[in-house]
Amino acid sequence: MESIINDRLGEGCFKTVLENGFTVLVYPMPHKTAVYAVLASKIGSDTLDFVVDGKTRRVPAGTAHFLEHKMFENEDGVDAFELFARTGASANAFTSFDKTCYLFEASLGARQPLETILGFVGAPYFTEETVEKEQGIIGQEIKMYLDHPGWRLVFSMLELLYHDHSVRHDIAGTVGTIAEITPELLYDFYDAFYNPRNMVLAVSGNISAEEVTEICREEFAKRNWKSHETEVIPCREQDGTAGESSTISMAVSSPQFCLGFKEIPFSKAERIKKELTLEILLDVIAGQTSDLYRKLYDSGLVNTGLYSEMLSGDDYLCVMFSGESEDPEKAIEVIREDIERVKSTGLSEERFLESKRACLGDVIGEYEDVSAVAANLVCSHFKGAGIYDIMALTETIEKEDAEELLSSFLRGSHSAVSLVVPIKASEQ
């Protein structure tokens, strides 16, 4: 067991790699009453092609999300959510572009919930009948998201930015792609990516590292959970964007806009610091105290605010600015002009330091949140770093780092615009 102590915070986390390659990360927080755990596999919706045992495989879009749903069913018919409820724990799960996570929060002891989460994730059970039933359930979920303006706005943008990369596909897939999923395909996909070397358990809260590690060893002794190597085939992506603009008519009261920029992905070695730098840069440009935000808000060009976000993975990176506006074309024009202005004049030292302090404050504050700690343990582990690297790297970021990033980012030639607008009376 490796201990990683942070003198500044006066606390630390513990890392153990078991004999089968499974990683256990524990962040004891004895002053808390709850325990929060995340069991994660480094597999998300953006991985469709891979090689295992020398064979190249391809799965339909939405397979990782479909598998996440199916994992909660047991052979004895008892749903895993019911097992958690019996222990007083609340559980959930989600699939993102690059990982699948199963999680719980418990305040009445963590042994039983930990045994439960390791138990059902370690013992998949699929049949033709249950897969067919789930296809209907997820099909309804997909249709529901098609009626969600924000969801349509983001994924229409990803379709504009990317020619071939699987990040352009909805995480849940489509009704057509999930119809191709079979029990055999799910078992093969599970065996490829739900192996100990590709997984991590992160636990934070009122529990010891020794207890968590002991529970893991006991659970693995009950089943033959084998480790092996699976090679993910990277997506090939062309330069430039796949499209320039799209407009979707929906039942919304005001138009919504998204201005997106396709960027060159960061290398693994520099990814964490570069992502932190980009977060600070976006706050400088479009944060609530920025000149751009005040200009848009004071002139009535945004109704509820201006939002910026970064989507980043091993082989993709994009930046989006979005909002609600009665004149979305004008709002986008102002955003583009302000980006070019900042590129030309450079960043304000005062604004940069303000954004850096805010970012650092958010990072430090998360060490007091049991759910944030567990989530950050998982994210940093999958990026090949430690949880304290985030804080340490944030402190090293200088204005020149942000300006260097800006010089090659937010290029108009690699941008696109997606709109969601109210349905016209003639279209109803």
Burial (0-12, 13-18, 19+ Cβ within 10 Å), 3: exposed
Contacts of 368 (CB under 8 A, 6+ apart): none
Contact present, 79 and 49 (Cβ < 8 Å)? no
Please tell me the distance from the alpha carbon of residue 135 to that of residue 182, in angstroms, as a whole number: 10
- Burial class for 35, CB neighbours closer than 10 Å (0-12, 13-18, 19+): buried
CA distance 146 to 135: 16
| 85 HSE (CA, 13 A, CB side) | 5
Q: How far apart are the first and last CA of the chain?
A: 64
Is 210 one of the catalytic residues? no
Residue type, 428: Q
| Amino acid in the structure at residue 371 | S
Count of positions (residues) in the chain: 428
Report how far residue 340's alpha carbon sits from residue 336's, in angstroms, rounded to the nearest whole number.
Answer: 6
Q: Measured between alpha carbons, how far is 415 from 319 in angstroms, rounded to an integer?
A: 9
The first and second tokens of residue 292, run together, are 């751009």
CA atoms within 13 A on the CB side of 311: 19
Closest CA to 165 of 34, 297, 317: 317
Task: For residue 322, list its beta bridge partners.
Answer: 258, 307
Q: What residues contact 172, with CB distance under 8 A and at least 6 apart?
A: 45, 62, 65, 66, 138, 141, 142, 145, 178
Strands in 245-250's sheet, in edge-to-edge order, are 245-250, 415-422, 256-262, 317-324, 306-312
Indicate the SS3 state at residue 65: helix
Catalytic member of 2, 11, 19, 68: 68
Tokens of 273: 């610091």
Q: Catalytic site residues?
A: 68
